[in-house]
Every structure is written in structure tokens, then in C-alpha cells.
Structure 1
């Protein structure tokens, strides 16, 4: 349902969709996660769908009285079938993205649908349009196939299986058509943006598509208010925040692709030596006012160490244990790399900071605060506030 472009810089720039989710499976090395909100939704949907099954049985041409919990068991079947359908919807996005050179970090199923975290979209706008389109198309085709299956099943006095298939087919067709609405974060918003991007450019096309999405959010809220439908309030909120986040992400990418790492990095020529005690390393981190610092061996960068890991060491042991035991492998960038690529590496590897190396020597570090500061400075420059765009690179020792 939703394709996220993740820059990995902060919550102000990206939607952290995988928080509160746990892995249940994988596809081609891509983790498939369930969000806890889905577990909360499952009993609610079971009750709703079970009530629909019971009412349909009572009002059928040949009324059927379903005993006890039977309607709700079938409600559970429909709810699980719906979640499986959403997973197929997302898998279609992922499969097309991988075929056209995209990169996918994870799939997360949530209360409001599914999220495919695409860290690198296909280069051609046409491929992005098709990647967004295959999800709704898969849902509609699945709905039609379920109708076809219903048509070939022999007539039976057993009402519930036929009704469950019929209801699930209708849900899939609705899911596919609803996702074609031109509003972020639904697929229709991405299709609209892809169609406009060739003529307007990505940033302007996103601004237009985001505005359309906010218009739909207002419409959903108004209809929800008139009909007292809380689900429409939820959809309005998701569409509004999704439209805003998408505009932020694309605007951030446009800025970060133009910047070099050397312009945003914190110059740093020394790190915490591997043989330093945990107590001394904590003091270094406190003085630097950073949650993490590079770890070095004879001034050669080898990784990083963070304060949270050091604090897990019991205080009596901190004087005797060393950083070597807690060092994590470095994620390295060059001063000449663009900041967008660096931010994407932070998303994929999830270190607290990147080490900036020039000819094998440590010259600085980059973390989320550095990148957010660069974005804030760019915004201030656009708004005409005092201050220019500095080159933050400093003279380094020979």
C-alpha cells in the first residue's frame, strides 16, 4: 500500500515505520515484519467480520443460524485472509522494485495496511509508476480470482465458506481501487507523482501530489465528521502525515544530493583507542558530548563505540575492561561522497555514526545531527535568514 523512500536522517525527515514491529519471515533476504498495531487490530476485525458473517447468514435466501463462536471463527479467517492479501499486495511492489534495480529494506504489515521500505527506487519515472501500480493491480486480480473460485465451487448448503470467499474478494477489489486514489501515502499518489515528474521534476511533482493528498485528507476528515466514522479519521490522519512526510523526504533528498560529506561532517582526527578502558572511554564520550565516537588502533580507524553499550558494563568492571570488547565494525564514507548516499548507508547498516576516511585516515564523522543541521541551515538560507553555506572542512594535520 505504501512505498517509503527512507533517507535515514531523523524522525523529522522520515517515517519510522518499523518501530514496534517484529520479524516473522523473509523474502530474498528482505525481512517481513508484523507491527504490534496489527495484533491489536486482529481481534477487532474478527469481531467486525464475525458480526457481518452472522448477519449475512440470518438474512440469506435460506436463513442459516450459526451457533456460538462459529461466525467469529469465520471472521478470523476473513481477517487473516485480508492480512495475507495485503502481504501479496506489498510483495508485488517489492518484486517489481527488485526487477528494475530498486533496493528494498523490509516489508511491514500495519493496522493501516502495508509498508514496503524501498531505500532506492528505480531510476526511470516510468518504472516508479509501474512499481506503484502493480500493488493495486495485484489486489484487484486477487479479488477477481476469488470470485472465479467461488463460481467453480459446487453449490453447497454450507453458507459460510462461500460467503467468506465472496466477502474477501470484495475487500481485495476495494483495497486495490482505494489505493489508486491520488493521495500519498497510497499508491495512487506515487502514480500521480511519477506521471508528473517527467515534465515538472521530482520536487515540484511531489509538491503537487502532496497537495492533492492533503486535499483528500481534508475530504476524509469531513466525511468522517458527518458520518461519525472513526476509521475515516484514522485514514485522514495517515494521508495527511504521509503527504507531508513524502514532501519532506523528496525535498531533503534534493538538498542532500548536492552536498558533499566534507561539508556536513564533524572534523575529527582521533578516536577512542581499542586498549582504552571503558571508564576512560566514557569520560571521552562525555567530553565530546556525543553518544558515539570512532574506535581506533594506533590512530587507524577500525570501528565505533557508543555510550549506551559502555554503560551496560557494571561500574566495578569499567576500569579493567577495554573498548576492544565493545567495538563495532565501522561504516565508512569518503569526504567526496554525496550526503544522500551517506544517509542511505546509515539506514541500511544503522550505525550511530559514519567514519569519514581520506586515504585511509580518519578526518571526521557524520551522524544524524550533522545531517539535520545541514538541512536546517539550507532551510534558513532559503528563508533569507542571516548566515551562508559554509565549507565546514578544516585544515588537517599532514
Structure 2
């Protein structure tokens, strides 16, 4: 995710913080300072940090549960509206998806239980009705937040945890695509409710949550439909076969000339045997030209370790590789029987293929 940077690595997952998170800390610090001075500002910022520590543990709960089924979680990103665990994929078995989905809220249940039962930090009406009121005590407010996180995340608004549980339950009766469509519709309706409540109460974060839920529900529903369609389409139908390639000895000048005379956004770099060595994207080319002259070799700036699939595979194999959250994959190469490059697939041309296919069925 852009505008985020890593701060730690826990259980194989890179913890990243989005820059907008610091805007939240600044906002809380200024608001608290205006109400109670420096001490109040310090406590307010410390409380937000404690809350997001609980959020990180929540997301790690998802990651640990997913690892049980062989699914890695390359990144966990903290945003002002919460955390996002970027799993390599979601389990396709509904029962496994339920376990992964509820693992996060269960972590908050444990945290709340420790705070309430062991430390005696009992939430009260004041803490629930006015969470930024310091009178109930730091730990009491933190316990309250964890209770709220459990209840909020279990709302069946896809792709929130409760929405994923709903999708998994529906998938036991319907196809995964149909289950996702229903759950996404419920999530979109919930997002309008969140937005309406946010406007009524003046809660900016709730409005952002509404926008995020709507966009994420729509995007994941489309991705699930694409993947189901791609599973029925040979990769040969979706790959790009007419393209201009660069050689291993090509320079940025050669790439710039190719960019001007074609409409390509990416250029495969192949060796003398026709094997794919990398892909030079337009953005990488432009960035390199700002730092080097036209004689600079493209193999120094191209994306390496491009995944490959055989031309006998189905399109969903390439689609899954392109959607991998842990890597920025500009393209997937398609090889013939001899291992030479026969074509390549990008997210853009898969989207165009699916769009044409959808239009043809109407």
C-alpha cells in the first residue's frame, strides 16, 4: 500500500503504518491539549497507540489462523480507520474462512477479558457513551474499546469479519461467487447506514469506514467473479501475444523509443533463447530516465523474478499470481513447451477480457 512504511516484523508478517495514521495522532493530540493541556494530550495519544496495539493483535489473530491452513500474511497495515491484514488468499473452504474471520475478534475478547477479569478495568456507561472521557480510567476505556471492536467487527458487512462469516455460511449453500455477491450487497447496504450515521453524528471516521466498506465490498465481489470466470478460460485466450520485447542488452534509450512507437505499458525483457528475464514498466522507465542517461541498461531497473505459467494453464492461475498481496507483480509470463515466452498477462488485459465476456453474455 502506498504511503506506508514498515516498522516491525511479527510472526512472518511485516507491520506497516500508513502516513495518515500520524494525522490521527496529531488530531487527537491537539484536541486533547485544547481540553486539558499537555498531560491530557500525552494521555490521549498514548490511548490511541494502545488501541492500535490491540488492532495489531487483532490482525495477527487472523494471520496466525490463516497460517494454520498454509496461507501467509505478508503485510499488516495500520490506517486511521483500523488495520488491514493482507492475506495471500482467503481460504476457499467455508469452515476455514470462518475460523480465520473470527480469530481476530477472539483476540479482542481475550484482551477485554484480561482487562476486566484480571485487572478489574470494568467498562461503565461513561466509558461507553464518551470514549474520549478520561474519567473512567485508561484501562476501563481500553476494555470498552475491545468490546466495541468485537461487536463492530462482527457486523455482517462484507468484507469485515462478520461479513466474511456471512459469506462462508452462504457458501455452504450457494456457489462462492453467489455467496460473495449476496454478502457484498449486505456490506454495501451497511456502508450506506454507516455513512448516514456518520453524517448525523459528525463522526468523520465512521464516514471513512463507510467509504472503505463500500469500495472493498465492490472490489472483492468483482475479483471473485473474475476469478470464477477465469477458471473457465484458457490463458492462451487472455494473454498478450503482439508486443515489442527488449533484449538483455537494451538500454533506456531503446525502451523510450519503443514506448513512443507502441501503446505498451510494460516491456518484456528476453534473452537470446526467448526466455523471459524481467519486465520493464513504463513508470520504472520514466523514473530511471530522471536519474540516468539513455545508455543505462534496462536490466538494472526491470522487475525481476516474474512468475510464469504454461500456455496449457487456465487464466485463473495467472490471475491469482497478479493478485498476490505480498509482491508487486506487473505481469505474468506465459511459456510454450520449450519454456520460451509465448505471451504475457496483466491485470488490465484480464479486466478487458472479462469486460468483453460479460458484455457478450448480455
TM over 0.5: yes
- Tell me the CA shift for residue 259 of structure 1: 2.0
Tell me the SS of whatever aligns to 1:329: coil
CA contact (8 A) 1:46 1:72 kept: yes
Counterpart residue number, 2:120: 151
**Rounded Cα–Cα distance in structure 1 between residues aligned with 2:285 and 2:209:** 43
**Cα separation, 2, equivalents of 1:283 and 1:91:** 47
Q: Distance in 2 between matches of 1:35 and 1:47?
A: 20
Deviations 1:33-65 (A, max 9, x none): 1112211111223456778xx7xxxxxxxxxxx
Q: Is the 8 A contact 1:50 1:74 kept in 2?
A: no
* Aligned counterparts of 1:224 and 1:314: Cα–Cα separation in 2: 44
Structure number with the bigger relative contact order (C-alpha 8 A, sep ≥ 6) is 1
Question: Quick one: which of 101, 104, 111 aligns to 1:132?
Answer: 101
Tell me, in whole angstroms, the C-alpha distance in 1 between the residues paired with 2:105 and 2:304.
41
Equivalent residues of 1:146, 1:165 under 8 A apart: yes
- The 4+ residue runs of structure 1 with deviation greater than 6 A are none
The answer to whether residue 314 in structure 2 is matched with residue 338 in structure 1 is: yes
* Equivalent-residue separation in structure 2 for 1:224 and 1:367 (angstroms): 38
What residue is the counterpart of 2:170 in the other structure? 196
Find the structure with the greater CA-based Rg: 1
Question: Quick one: which of 247, 263, 268 aligns to 2:221?
Answer: 247
How far off its partner does 1:164 sit? 0.2
- Whole-angstrom distance in 2 between the partners of 1:36 and 1:250: 30
Deviations 1:141-200 (A, max 9, x none): 2112112343299xxxxxx79810111110111111111111123110001111110111
Distance 2:113 2:228 in 1: 41
* Aligned residue pairs, count: 345
Instruction: Give me the whole-angstrom Cα distance separating, in 1, the residues matched to 2:207 and 2:197.
Output: 9
Gaps of 5+ in 2: 123-133
User: Hey, what's the Cα distance between the residues in 1 that align with 2:301 and 2:195?
Assistant: 50
Q: Which residue in the other structure is 1:288 paired with? A: 262
Distance 2:299 2:344 in 1: 19
Unaligned runs of 5+ in 1: 1-17, 55-66, 154-159, 384-398
1:242 Cα shift? 2.7
Per the alignment, in what secondary structure is the counterpart of residue 355 of structure 2? helix
**Structure-2 residue corresponding to 1:58:** none
Distance 2:350 2:12 in 1: 29
- Normalised TM-score (structure 2): 0.86
Partner Cα distance (1:314, 1:225) in 2: 45
